[in-house]
Amino acid sequence: MATLIFIGGGARSGKSSAAVHRALSLPAPRVFIATAEARDEEMRARIRAHQEERQAGFETLEAPRDLAHAVQQNHHAHVLLIDCLTLWLSNLLLDDLSDQAIDDATTAWLDAVADHPGNVIVVANEVGQGIVPDNALSRRFRDLAGRLNQRVAQCADLVEIRFFGLGVTLKDLSAAAGVSR
């Protein structure tokens, strides 16, 4: 059964760095599951920066859509680091999936995570603290991201939100159970 660690926050809050640091503190093998797609030069530069930050501590797997399969195929890994759920959701929206299909994909992924024998660290953006978006697609994305984050937080053993490079623990079942990580 997996230990699920969920790290969220806004843009440039330090969530990816915190996730990498936590993953590197755990024993190898480690697999980084990347959901981003390099659709333009700016995104390619962001991906390169993340790769440099990870260095050689990870095997990298690109899985922009089928996260359940990516988790199922990596039971050998002591640590899976998925960065990020928000981009995964964007990819599904760009594929024109229905809300139900996205919910089904989320359920399949969470089931795969529950079956993983190691640690799963997940990064996601908090996108609901700003203004109400001015168009239907943006509002749908915000609403779906909020529901996705809630579902993951409910399943997670540890939930941390990042602000200004600092983490605030919202949930820690290991502390309640007296278990150390």
pLDDT tens-digit map of 83-131:
999 999 999 999 999 999 999 999 999 999 999 999 999 999 999 888 8
Which residues constitute the domain of residue 127? 3-166
Residue 73 DSSP class: T
Q: Is the pLDDT of residue 55 over 80?
A: no
Q: Note whether residue 179 is domain-resident.
A: no
For the CA atoms of 112, 32, 43, 67, the dihedral, rounded to the nearest 10 degrees, stands at -10
pLDDT for 51 equals: 73
In this prediction, residues 49-57 reach a mean pLDDT of: 74
**140 assigned to some structural domain:** yes
- Number of domains present in the structure of the chain: 1
Q: What is the pLDDT of residue 177?
A: 52
Q: Is the pLDDT of residue 43 over 70?
A: yes
Characterize the bridge pairing of strands 158-163 and 166-172: antiparallel
The pLDDT assigned to 180 comes to 45
Task: Classify residue 138: in a domain, yes or no.
Answer: yes
Coil, strand, or helix at residue 16?
Answer: helix
Alpha-carbon distance 5 to 107, whole Å? 17
Mean pLDDT over residues 21-34, rounded? 94
**Residue 93, SS3 per DSSP:** helix
Give me the CATH number covering residue 117. Answer: 3.40.50.300
pLDDT one-digit tens code per residue, 134-181 = 999 999 999 999 999 999 999 999 999 999 999 999 999 976 554 444
> Of these residues, 21, 50, 76, 78, which one is catalytic?
50
Is residue 31 domain-resident? yes
- Whether 178 is covered by a domain: the verdict is no
How high is the pLDDT of residue 179?
47
Residue 50 catalytic? yes
Position 46 confidence tier, pLDDT thresholds 50, 70, 90: confident
Q: State the pLDDT at residue 175.
A: 64
In a domain, 175, yes or no: no
The pLDDT value given to residue 181: 44
**What pLDDT was estimated at residue 176?**
59
Residue 115 three-state SS:
helix
Does 70 have pLDDT greater than 90?
Answer: yes
37 part of a folded domain: yes
Whether 171 is in a domain gets the answer no
